[in-house]
């Protein structure tokens, strides 16, 4: 009986550590080297009233641009990503800060990583390709740098016969019918498909686009 329960505990621990193996060491692992923290705390506080979402403060500042105007993205699913991927990681905007001393250490670490320099205490900019600004295309003029989000695939497929009504690949998830960042990306999971994609590059496109 004792042996059996020990095995069960071991299996459980292994399972837990395996699920952490996704984000550890990935581009989403925001810990400085030699950190004793779990990578989770940069988004999820163990305590606090933000619904387990550490990024609450920066999330409300994230925005998209449509027709020259700044707008809040449609769903929380996108706001969470844009909380960092609007160009400002704002590491001082965590709801539940660790000791201040440790934030300083982390800030120094980002200074090493940050080519463009350190603007505000705790903030860091990063490579342009991760900075998401959305522009809706006007008639026959495509001026978006990024794939649209916050649109309903089933609505678009009525207009455009080149789209399926829903993704033919079940790895692609819609959120209440809307395409969001999480449709193509899986934030915790460094799979074989970089960066954080749920499927291979071509399969991803052809899951919605009938080409």
Partner 1 sequence: MKKALIIALCLVFVIAGVAVAGIRYSKHDLSSSGGQNTRSTNVDEVCVFCHTPHASNTSMTAAPLWNRSDNSTTWSNTNAYTSPTMDGTSTGPNNANPISKACLSCHDGNVGDETLVNGPGSGTNTITIQWQNAIYSTVANLNDTAGLTNDHPIGLNMAAISALDNEIYNSPQNANLRLFNGLVECATCHSVHNSTNYQPFLAMSNAGSAMCLACHNK
Q: Residues 121, 128, 39, 54: what is their CA dihedral angle, to the nearest 10 degrees?
A: 60
Nearer to partner 1, 98 or 201 (CB): 201
Closer residue to partner 1 in complex, CB, 80/94: 80
Q: Which is nearer to partner 1, 94 or 208 (CB)?
A: 208
Task: Summarize as ranges the residues that interact with partner 1 (CB under 8 A).
Answer: 27, 127-130, 132, 135, 137, 140-147, 184, 194-195, 200-202, 205-206, 210-211
What is the Cα–Cα distance from 150 to 51, expressed in whole angstroms?
Answer: 22
Taking the complex as a whole, how short is the minimal distance between the CB of residue 142 and partner 1, in angstroms?
4
Instruction: List phi, psi (to 5°) of 176.
Output: 50, 40
Q: CB of residue 205 vs partner 1: minimum separation in angstroms?
A: 5
* 169: Cβ contacts below 8 Å, ≥ 6 apart: 199, 203, 204, 207
Nearest to partner 1 of 40, 206 (CB atom): 206
CB of 150 to partner 1, least distance (A): 14
Least distance between partner 1 and beta carbon 21 (Å): 18
For 150: left if phi > 0, alpha if psi spans -120 to 50, otherwise beta; the answer is left
Q: Find residue 64's DSSP bridge partners.
A: 71
């Amino acid at each position: 009986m004792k042996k059996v329960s020990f095995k069960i505990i071991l299996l459980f621990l292994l399972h837990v550590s395996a699920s952490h193996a996704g984000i550890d060491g990935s581009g989403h692992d925001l810990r400085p080297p030699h950190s004793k923290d779990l990578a989770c705390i940069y988004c999820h506080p163990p305590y606090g009233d933000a619904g387990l979402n550490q990024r609450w403060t920066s999330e409300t500042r994230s925005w998209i641009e449509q027709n020259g105007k700044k707008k809040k993205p449609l769903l929380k699913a996108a706001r969470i990503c844009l909380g960092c991927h609007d160009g400002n990681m704002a590491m001082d905007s965590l709801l539940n800060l660790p000791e201040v001393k440790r934030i300083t250490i982390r800030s120094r670490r980002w200074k090493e990583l940050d080519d463009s320099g350190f603007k505000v205490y705790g903030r860091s900019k990063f490579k342009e390709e991760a900075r998401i600004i959305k522009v809706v295309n006007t008639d026959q003029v495509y001026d978006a740098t990024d794939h649209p989000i916050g649109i309903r695939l089933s609505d678009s497929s009525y207009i455009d016969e080149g789209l399926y009504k829903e993704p033919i690949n079940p790895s692609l998830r819609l959120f209440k019918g809307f395409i969001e960042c999480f449709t193509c990306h899986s934030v915790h999971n460094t799979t074989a498909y970089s960066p954080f994609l749920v499927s291979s590059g071509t399969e991803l496109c052809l899951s919605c686009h009938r080409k």
